[in-house]
A and B are shown apart, each in its own frame.
Chain A
């Protein structure tokens, strides 16, 4: 029996499992931002995420739900049909867009959209990796992640290929495990990727602006009031450990984590800054670098922010610090995760 760590999502009343090895992140686009972030390139829906377009595949389309689905109740079905219709009515991507809400510069299709009822629900997207592409899988809801047994798809289920197998959730419900690679193959992503690349090359407004960039950051404290930030992309997870979870061998510190060992360090081991005081509960940012995980001990508040601005590299510019920004009157130092990992791993050897 194989066990897979999986993210559980739902569509209508049914739950589906997405193997965590295929999952990059979960993104919820609030209703107010749907028009800015989800659009069509050609006829393909895409989501704009940190200056990148990712093709979108609706799990409902993959499953053919809406036409033949009998298991969900009328309300759920109606909601879905409405949602899909809302999404379809989004205007073609024809003008430049600014990711900041409230900007006057809007889509040509806007008036047409506003004639109908305005979109009332957020869109939940699981950003996944297939063997060849990264894409967004649109689902209704996110649930917990679970360690689940994966049974082989039986003779009636295997021919459809979109399922990796079946499972039994903690709640004892039977559920299907999605094959993210096969779902991608059905979605004709190579054509969509080409269309996106083509659209971006022909329209400068779709490209990231060089002077100001959109920064998606995870901010945190170190000792005292020292504020730091890392690229959100580099963050695998946030964890909180009890102080008794930490073990030491020589100067190396680690915790047992997901069946393995997670090396843990604090910032003062890499750069000149304050040392952390002992705490009962220790927040750890888990990074992935070169296929291995490492944990950085930090202090709350830990927050994610998205902002458009310029990184000041005139004063703080010694790796792994790549610059600074001003945030709520605080100077926040931006850390470059690969450089940080290099320093730590170098120091470890």
Chain B
């Protein structure tokens, strides 16, 4: 972690009981899920593609991708939009649970195992008063 501490904002959501956070600066926006077109012959965690104001977003079932409980499709689903290497990726979740402000010094090393989710997906762990939050490494794995 960085030696000079600074405040970071995290979008946090739950998959089953696992709390997961993303650095808000790694994200573009959070939107409601719209019509998703299925894409056959792709990995099972690819939920499909959707139109976000004229851009194609590949929507990922975040639970499935992380090896946790799949996120169930419903009209209230939210999608966290990332822009990685010239393309939009959407992480489909139930909903944003909370926004956590934390000092960068509060981020510990990646968890060995977060309720079965692969260690590789996380770049650190954030301990708050109520939760242990796995911080997603968005660039490498999405």
Contacts and interface: CB of A to CB of B under 8 A. Distances in A.
Contacts of A63: 40-41
Contacts of A64: 40-41
Interface stretch (A128-136, A170-178, A226-234, A265-273): A170-178
Interface string B32-65: 0001111111110010111100101010100000
B85 interface: yes
A316 interface: no
B38 A174 contact: no
A205 to B, nearest CB: 39
Given A151-B56, A168-B54, A174-B35, A157 B40 contact: no
Nearest to A11: B40
B37 A173 contact: yes
A68 interface: yes
A47 interface: no
Contacts of B39: 156-157, 160, 163, 176
A102 interface: no
B38 A156 contact: no
Interface string A46-87: 000000000000000001110011110000000000000000
A154 interface: yes
B76 interface: no
A163 B37 CA distance: 14
A174 B40 contact: no
B29 interface: no
A94 B43 CA distance: 41
Listed residue (A70, A151, A154, A166) with the most chain B CB atoms within 10 angstroms of its CB: A154
Contacts of B54: 168
B51 A160 contact: no
Interface string A158-169: 011011001110
B87 A174 contact: no
Contacts of B51: 168, 172-174
A174 B41 contact: no
A166 B49 contact: yes
A155 B85 contact: yes
Contacts of B58: 154-157
Contact of A154 (B35, B36, B87): B87
A175 B38 CA distance: 9
Contacts of B87: 154-155
A14 interface: yes
B93 to A, nearest CB: 17
Contact of A157 (B35, B46, B85): B46
Contacts of B36: 71, 174
A65 B49 contact: no
A70 B37 contact: no
A12 to B, nearest CB: 9
Nearest to B65: A156
B37 A176 contact: yes
A45 to B, nearest CB: 20
Contacts of A154: 56, 58, 87, 89
A65 B40 contact: yes
Listed residue (A151, A157, A173) with the most chain B CB atoms within 10 angstroms of its CB: A157
Nearest to A149: B54
B37 A14 contact: yes
A68 B36 CA distance: 16
Nearest to B41: A160
Interface string B78-107: 000000010101000000000000000000
Nearest to B35: A173
A174 B50 contact: yes
Contacts of B56: 151, 154, 166-168, 174
Nearest to B40: A63
Listed residue (B36, B42, B56) with the most chain A CB atoms within 10 angstroms of its CB: B56
A160 B87 CA distance: 17
Nearest to A163: B39
Contacts of A166: 49, 56
7 closest A-B pairs (Cβ-Cβ)?
A: A63-B40, A71-B38, A160-B41, A174-B49, A154-B87, A174-B37, A174-B51
Given A155-B85, A156-B42, 15 more contacts: A69-B40, A70-B38, A71-B36, A154-B89, A155-B58, A156-B39, A157-B46, A157-B58, A160-B41, A166-B49, A168-B51, A168-B54, A174-B35, A174-B48, A174-B49
14 contacts: A63-B41, A64-B41, A68-B40, A156-B43, A156-B58, A157-B58, A160-B39, A160-B41, A163-B39, A167-B56, A168-B54, A174-B37, A174-B48, A174-B50
